[in-house]
Amino acid sequence: MTELTTQVETLTAENAELKAKIEAEPETETETEAEVKTDTVGTVYTDVTTTKVVQEALNAADEIKAAAEKEAAKANYSGNYTYEQLARNPDSYIGDKVKFKGKVLQADTSSGIGYIRLAINSNYDTVLFVTYDPSVINYRLLEDDIVTVYGLSAGIYSYEAVTGATIFIPWVNADIIEM
């Protein structure tokens, strides 16, 4: 955890330095070069190759920083919770940061909110209902995918089965989903 924190702080400092250099960098183009790049309205275009390269480096640094922060955030979720705990005393764990790995039994995002039914450790007797914002992942979840979800325990979710019976299962609202 401290190593990731150090990396995030280092990347943040480097990112700030690069942004400051870009903003402070004077125009380096000569008048002759500028005249060649003047359009019919008199607008002068500068060579942006250097700026593009630096901006791409800054974007890469931002992506690395976001990935490091995501990795650090995962440490806040506990894998020490059991299905039985959430099923037996759901109200006791509402808001707790939990982590579960399992097999996707059903997935849908058609309503604008993503949800999956997740068989913990591929055990069909221990199924979680997981909701998530579809922007949390950049791919579609499919049946039989093995994923790890990091999220907040949200109590119990109930739904009507095909047989007409009401099913009650633990509910987790995922912040992070990984394949």
- Specify the pLDDT at position 35: 46
Domain ranges for the chain, please list them. Answer: 2-74, 83-178
Average pLDDT over residues 65-92: 90
Entry field: residues in the chain: 179
The tens digit of pLDDT for each residue in 120-166 reads 999 999 999 999 999 999 999 999 999 999 999 999 999 999 999 99
Contact 105, 125 (CB under 8 A): no
Q: 13 pLDDT exceeds 70?
A: yes
Per-residue pLDDT, 85:
97
Q: Provide the whole-model pTM.
A: 0.66
Per CATH, the homologous superfamily of domain 83-178 is: Nucleic acid-binding proteins (2.40.50.140)
**What's the rounded mean pLDDT across residues 13-37?**
60
How wide is the angle at C-alpha 108 spanned by C-alphas 132 and 154, nearest 5°? 35
Give the single-character DSSP code of 53: H
